[in-house]
């Protein structure tokens, strides 16, 4: 195969391959993070149940670190 024949192959691979790799890596990382957050929340809930926290206390603790969206904040008022 000549060098001239490789130029279109490299160009197409660069144009389509790089965004595809970025998309796949981003998707995997995002899902990995969601799984880890869910695992940590489950572990925290289990510890709180073992310590005798009520359901209301558990909800209050879990929601303490979650920022309120503007739409939800207006509904609360």
Considering only residues 8 and 21, tell me which one the structure prediction assigns the higher pLDDT. 21
Question: Which tens digit of pLDDT belongs to each residue from 41-61?
Answer: 999 999 999 999 999 999 998
Quick check: 26 pLDDT over 80? Answer: yes
Do the Cβ atoms of 30 and 12 come closer than 8 Å? no
Which three-class secondary structure string do you get for the chain? CCHHHHHHHHHHHHHHHHHHHHHHHHHHHHHHHHHHHHHHHHHHHHHHHHCCCCHHHHHHHHHHCCCCCHHHHHHHC
Give me the pLDDT at residue 1, please: 63
Q: Which of 13, 15, 36, 33 is nearest to 25 (CA)?
A: 33
Residue 64, token pair as written in the block: 């303490």
Structural domain count, the chain? 1
Which range marks the domain in which residue 29 is found? 3-76
């Amino acid at each position: 195969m000549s060098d001239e024949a490789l130029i279109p192959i490299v160009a197409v691979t660069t144009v389509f391959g790089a965004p595809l790799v970025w998309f796949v890596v981003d998707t995997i990382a995002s899902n990995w993070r969601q799984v880890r957050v869910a695992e940590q929340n489950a572990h925290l809930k289990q510890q709180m149940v073992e310590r005798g926290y009520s359901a209301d206390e558990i909800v209050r603790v879990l929601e303490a670190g979650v920022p309120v969206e503007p739409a939800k904040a207006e509904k609360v008022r």
